[in-house]
Chain A
């Protein structure tokens, strides 16, 4: 299993407790951060700014959302059928 060809993986920070979502149900936490990331990138590109500040949302939604959900939503955004208001 030990593959020395590839570089070691980097550990990112894990999303901290979010007082907006104190319950067991974290579905909305994942979705809201995904939405915030898309909005952030859109706003930044409209203003012609660097989208680096949006990285935070990206890290949070990547850590929280199942990858299959993210893939699904990204496909929907590409097809223009995403239900969220970006």
Chain B
């Protein structure tokens, strides 16, 4: 989850997020190089007495400043497309989870287990225990097995929502009448927090997502005995 005054991205818990962070750093590096070069040239031009106001037909420099930016754009575009297709890549999923947006809560269905389904509401501030996070905790956490590929099918019952967990590199729109598929996997056990990321009405800020990744065996026990009335 995010720390106070954090500047960078949240720590990665899935391979996709590792890729995204690496790509972010790569793009930022290029941006820094370009900005420093431009600033340097601006300062150079402002301070020099030499001018080239009558330069015509400078084919060499035209060639360089056309091809060089094109190469830089390709260097950004190719890794970007690679990650884009990687997020759509689908292995054999172990589990299917349905996340359905409502105004203003998420409901989850684990239909691989006959009738395992529950709603996940925000925890009101006055119910919080010390150490819990305001506006991020929910009453029923979405428990999932770690180190397993999980297919998440995201939809909505009313308006547009968006199911997002930054640590896992997932953000998928929940659209009424449509099922969107996303792949989720965590390499570590723990709690991952997310929030609705598509403005969906007055309580848009108050429908967080909490994923609890636990060991496989514990998950089996959790799933086979949990009955929410």
Contact = CB atoms under 8 A, between A and B. Distances in A.
B192 to A, nearest CB: 21
Contact of B225 (A2, A25, A26): A2
B90 interface: yes
Contacts of A11: 112-113, 220, 223-224
Contacts of A13: 112
Nearest to B227: A3
Interface of A is mostly: loop
Given A1-B226, A68-B157, A25 B180 contact: yes
Contacts of A63: 96, 111-112
Contacts of B100: 66, 68
Interface string A18-31: 00001111110110
A10 B113 contact: yes
Contacts of A67: 109, 111, 117
Nearest to A62: B111
Interface size class of B (residues with CB under 8 A): 35 or more
Given A25-B180, A26-B153, A14 B116 contact: no
A63 B93 CA distance: 12
B88 interface: yes
Between B100, B117, B155, B182, the greatest number of chain A beta carbons within 10 A of the residue's beta carbon is seen for B155
Contacts of B225: 1-3, 8-9
A3 to B, nearest CB: 5
Which of A1, A25, A63, A68 is most buried by chain B, counting CB atoms within 10 A of its CB? A63
A17 B88 CA distance: 12
Interface string B69-105: 0000000000000000000101111111010100000
B223 A9 contact: yes
Contacts of A62: 111
B88 to A, nearest CB: 6
Interface in B121-171: 151, 153, 155, 157
Contact of B179 (A12, A15, A30): A30
A46 interface: no
B26 interface: no
Interface of B: 88, 90-96, 98, 100, 109, 111-114, 116-117, 151, 153, 155, 157, 172, 177-182, 220, 223-228
Closest 8 interchain pairs by CB? A8-B224, A26-B179, A26-B181, A14-B96, A9-B224, A27-B179, A63-B96, A9-B113
8 contacts: A1-B227, A10-B113, A10-B114, A10-B224, A11-B112, A23-B181, A30-B179, A66-B100
